[in-house]
Structure 1
């Protein structure tokens, strides 16, 4: 079901989704009140929901849906600072993904991104709703299909194998669908003395700053949207900015991040593979890699690089993932030392920092 006060959005999305043989658009509505009337007689498998609408806003409607009958919801939001902050509320309330839309050129934009929108709806239909109620989920930002080897050179094992163990350790986390609240569940349970953390969460431009600000308000450690040159230090977590890659560099015994404009990797920018490969190169056995809930395989090759470089590696288990895609692919590559539930990850990070 499509719920959006824009007749253009409803018309274009209905036509685009209707072209796929696996998707049936059963109804559309201009606001949540009309939508609920229709849903009472024919409940959808997936809802595509606008945020700002007459009579009832999308966030209130989303909360009602999750309380009455939890259903995968994709938020259709404008790519603005205001829209980003509102979308963070939606993700915290249980939305499965965000499809961004511009204020102008909407029809052409939606048609150009038709494949991504169809993919988002199909992913939502398979989401594990049990953890959604506790963890929330992340936006889906698929783009190009380059692999990590086409953007960054392969790992030189001779460099990382000789790297000495130091007291300066870092934790690298990669996640996507389901990741916003999964990260909240992890970071909010860490102390100010936790090791420095670098994070890639698949998220559009403008959204990562709002996401980091929200985490910073509720966590003991400092959470920032990363800027070029920021140091990775204990008690700080750096979130890669949407629309740009982040990699870690080493200067002596200190680590800092570099923010890059480069092509998308595995359909994403930022990419987990880009972060993990850089950590494998510059930190090696002085790092802990964690791959969490998310669709696709971004991060699997990078985690294998970290594992081969001597890093400790962890994957979130299937039971607590909204989408068991990225962790599953890393496990298949033999890149994972431990498979653990979400609730075990904060303790493992704290204990790693004390080794």
Structure 2
């Protein structure tokens, strides 16, 4: 929360569209714990507003005149790190730029409502945006500390396998759940892993149109093969399968082979894709050597299923609070007693290899 917890969260809205600025101001103004202290039409005006108004959170458009949002974000994170939520359009180009913004230090993003949005969709957008703003407001000190650490493009320590596999990789899975802050945490984790591992399935809270590009960006930076999951495809060792945005993924066994099952059913825990759905699907397979991993994220999605898996004897690895951007989902697992180990992000690769290989280490 902000330094003074008795006052509302102060928000600055940066967008070149007057209509968008007015709509966002009105929707955020509905929440008594949020105060829109100013608006700016471009990054140069925003720079002056930040100095004068000292906001707790900024909402930032990506495409603006004179300086694009990502360039402004990089400058801001270098000079004055603070929580920024990107307002993005659900287009292919918008997806790529939004992922760049997350890599540059934005804490979250949300798709802009369309001009023809219904009252119900605007109400849902308002609720989600308000929640994201309140969560972001508590991340100021964490962002300052993160800015002092290595750049996001720094090489990762890569884990190496030693010894022999401890079990049949083709009959077991590694399942990873993540939300807010997860795109960067997943990148760091997967970059550190070798390809000689069981199939890895991932549910990251992400909208449709973003997941395929997210998978391609990961694939270009990892030794593992990363792709967006497809209905019915076989789950193969050494490959990572990203759940498509807007669908649920469950692993199923057909003819003795592990395969992908996608479905378009209702959201679970308000999410689609849902970590809970993926973890529960794995639990129905009764694979005793599978692993559940929970990374940074807002909310509690997946916590119940992960705790069930822990009680059934599966290895459950949870990212610790110090290395998580948001310790909602991981913290919910720990509170339920569902974590076999609570680890810093950079310790999770070695824990996975120790499980998969006798004597493996970083």
Q: TM tier, shorter chain?
A: 0.7 to 0.9
The 8 Å contact of residues 9 and 107 in structure 1, kept in 2 or not, is answered as no
SS at match of 1:351: helix
Q: What is residue 129 of structure 1 aligned with on the other side?
A: 143
2:125 aligned to which of 113, 120, 125: 113
The 8 Å contact of residues 173 and 199 in structure 1, kept in 2 or not, is answered as yes
Please say if 1:320 is aligned against 2:323. Answer: yes
Alignment of 1:197-346 (within 5 A): 197-346=200-349
Deviation at 1:83, TM superposition (A): 0.5
- Following the alignment from structure 2 to structure 1, what is the Cα–Cα distance between the partners of residues 113 and 263? 24
Q: Are residues 231 and 309 of structure 1, via their aligned partners in 2, closer, same or farther at CA, if it must alter by over 3 Å? A: farther
The 8 Å contact of residues 132 and 322 in structure 1, kept in 2 or not, is answered as no
Matched residues, number: 328
SS at match of 2:355: helix
| Structure 1, gaps ≥5 residues long | 138-164
Q: Are residues 136 and 204 of structure 1, via their aligned partners in 2, closer, same or farther at CA, if it must alter by over 3 Å? A: farther
Deviation at 1:322, TM superposition (A): 0.5
Q: Are residues 293 and 213 of structure 1, via their aligned partners in 2, closer, same or farther at CA, if it must alter by over 3 Å? A: same
1:27 aligned to which of 38, 53, 77: 38
- Following the alignment from structure 2 to structure 1, what is the Cα–Cα distance between the partners of residues 104 and 117? 26
Q: Are residues 107 and 281 of structure 1, via their aligned partners in 2, closer, same or farther at CA, if it must alter by over 3 Å? A: closer
Q: What is residue 87 of structure 1 aligned with on the other side?
A: 98
Root-mean-square deviation (CA, aligned residues, Å) is: 1.9
The 8 Å contact of residues 203 and 242 in structure 2, kept in 1 or not, is answered as yes
Post-superposition Cα deviations, 1:130-189, rounded to whole Å, max 9, x if no partner, equal 57546999xxxxxxxxxxxxxxxxxxxxxxxxxxx7553210000101100100000011
| Structure 2, gaps ≥5 residues long | 1-11, 153-166
The 8 Å contact of residues 174 and 292 in structure 2, kept in 1 or not, is answered as yes
Deviation at 1:254, TM superposition (A): 2.6
- Following the alignment from structure 2 to structure 1, what is the Cα–Cα distance between the partners of residues 16 and 190? 36
Q: Are residues 274 and 112 of structure 1, via their aligned partners in 2, closer, same or farther at CA, if it must alter by over 3 Å? A: closer
The 8 Å contact of residues 12 and 107 in structure 1, kept in 2 or not, is answered as no
The 8 Å contact of residues 171 and 289 in structure 1, kept in 2 or not, is answered as yes
- Following the alignment from structure 1 to structure 2, what is the Cα–Cα distance between the partners of residues 222 and 117? 34
Post-superposition Cα deviations, 1:46-84, rounded to whole Å, max 9, x if no partner, equal 000000000000000000110011100000001111110
- Following the alignment from structure 1 to structure 2, what is the Cα–Cα distance between the partners of residues 87 and 263? 26
Q: Are residues 191 and 130 of structure 1, via their aligned partners in 2, closer, same or farther at CA, if it must alter by over 3 Å? A: farther
